[in-house]
Homo-oligomer: A and B are copies of this chain.
Amino acid sequence: MASNNGNGNIPDIVISRLPIYLRALNRLAADGQEITSSHELGQRLGISSAQIRKDLSHFGGFGKQGTGYHISFLQDRLRKVLHVDREWEVALVGIGDLGKAIARYRGFGDRGFHISCLFDSAPEKVGQRVENLLVQPLSELHTTIETRGIRLAMIAVPAEHAQAVAAHLVEAGVRGILNYAPINLSVPSNVHVQYIDPVVGLQRMTYYVEDELI
């Protein structure tokens, strides 16, 4: 997808790494650190320092050889590039065990997002409150999302309902979907989907764990 927001064309693969860099920087900042290096970031993230310098060079200017990166400057820059220097409303569909856990997740704060509406199809869930938000019926999804101009949603419904919910969200104006259901969603090309998949996380470790047992 062509992207141009004053940063030229940044490859998708670079964009996909920026949230990882930003999270590492947030942690360093929380520990009171002010300066970091591509070497330190690389060690924390399992990415080569050369790759990190190359990725960050897409935004020009910062990170002179030998002086390291100013963490707060780099945080600001990455937040701007990723458009999370503001707060996005996110709709959450599916208020079962997983949906409730997501609604209560404390990792959203100050990172660009807040869940602002909840939807479920089950009559016994509609009208309940989770984290002070009212669970709305699916019949209100379209109007709520359209009226409030919500562009992001999370799907936490059973796999067999996820595609129908995705279509419903897209029709209402959602352009980015974080999908927790273990199925591949089919969406128009102007809609972005990211998958939360624990198996990918586990498979990223077994290569190393097995090595150590041999």
Q: State the copy count for this chain.
A: 2
- The B-contacting residues of A in range 94-151, CB under 8 angstroms, are 96-98, 100-102, 104-108, 111-113, 151
Do the beta carbons of A199 and B108 come within 8 Å of each other?
Answer: yes
Do the beta carbons of A152 and B202 come within 8 Å of each other?
Answer: yes
Interface size on A, residues (CB 8 A): 73
Docked pose: A213 CA to B151 CA in angstroms: 10
With contacts A108-B199, A112-B199, A194-B202 known, is A207 near B15, CB below 8 A?
Answer: yes
Docked pose: A107 CA to B180 CA in angstroms: 10
A178 proximity list for chain B (CB < 8 A): 198, 201-202, 205
| A13, A20, A23, A97 pick with most chain B CB within 10 angstroms | A97
Docked pose: A151 CA to B210 CA in angstroms: 9
Please name the residue on chain B nearest to A104 by beta carbon. B97
Mark contacts of A163-205 with chain B using CB atoms, 8 A cut-off: 1 yes-contact digit, 0 otherwise. Answer: 0000000000001101000101000001010111111111111
Do the beta carbons of B111 and A203 come within 8 Å of each other?
Answer: yes
Docked pose: A104 CA to B202 CA in angstroms: 16
A105 proximity list for chain B (CB < 8 A): 182, 198
Return the contact of A152 from the options B1, B206, B214 (Cβ within 8 A). B206
Q: Which residues of A contact B (CB under 8 A)?
A: 1, 3-5, 10-13, 15-16, 18-20, 22-23, 27, 46-48, 51, 81-84, 88, 90, 96-98, 100-102, 104-108, 111-113, 151-152, 154, 156, 159, 175-176, 178, 182, 184, 190, 192, 194-214
